[in-house]
Amino acid sequence: MIRILKYVTLDILKNRIVIIYAVVLALFSWSAFGLEDNTSKGLLTVLNLLLLTVPLVSVLFSTIYVYNNNEFIELLVSHPVRRSMIWKALFAGLSLSMTAAFILGAGLPLLLFADPATALIMIAAGVLLSVIFIAIAFLSSIVTRDKAKGIGIAIMLWLYFALLFDGLVLFLYFQFADYPIEKPVVLLSALSPVDLCRILILLRLDVSAMMGYTGAIFKNFFGNGWGLILSFSLLLLWIWVPFRVSLQKFKKKDL
């Protein structure tokens, strides 16, 4: 597993797309803090970048990488190596590479310009979001052999989690406004990792206007301390479940 992990990580780190991704993150992050006199405005700019760009690049690059390396995966399967080790090594290699690009691109400016606690929470959220969408990419790529369908599924999932989810929750709230649905809304917030990351960060920043409806309800129920702990726990679950499902499918897949 270590040899596969080393090969995959080095291969991805040399990829031009990953290098460009890190450079673009760095340019936007440094610009956000350099052009704004108020650090809070810079943090909100980086937050929008983190919630939209990081998941999109992670899920797209990972899905395409898995499809493009089908022959390499088939070659590894033909050797006396357990399938679970192959899949875990690929996942770990992609996760290490994408999180390294994120930390170098956006993490360093955050550490320099934001207060340490806020910077660490935003970096942790960005790392978790990267790994979550890599896990979603693995699930998308194992569901179908068709590359176009797999990429389409990945993009649709990103679109749902990043843009549509909070609007759907708000729509449901207005439809059932006469009923006490605050607790179900809190449970619904666990169904979107992007929403959880936004809540996780904004609970720290305390910018209620940016939290969205689910974020406001979440804060009322759990407050800062419990909200952070619950958000982290749910985000870790979002990594484990899609990857575990994809691993089980990979073990049984006829290559």
Domain range list for the chain: 2-252
Give Cβ neighbours of residue 131 (< 8 Å, ≥ 6 apart).
Answer: 58, 95, 98, 99, 239
Q: What is the pTM of this model?
A: 0.89
Burial (CB < 10 A; 0-12, 13-18, 19+), residue 16, is exposed
3-state SS, residue 78: coil
Per-residue pLDDT, 225:
66
Q: What is d(CA 201, CA 13) in angstroms, rounded to the nearest whole number? A: 28
Structure tokens at 159: 């679109």
The reported pLDDT for the residue numbered 227 is 64
- Sign, Cα dihedral of 224, 230, 236, 241: negative
Q: What is the pLDDT of residues 195-216, one digit of tens each?
A: 888 877 777 775 554 555 555 5
pLDDT for res 209: 47
Q: Which has the closest alpha carbon to 54: 164, 136, 174, 176?
A: 136
Mean pLDDT by groups of 10 residues along the chain of 255 residues: 79 86 91 77 84 93 91 82 88 93 91 86 92 94 89 92 81 71 70 82 62 57 65 88 93 74
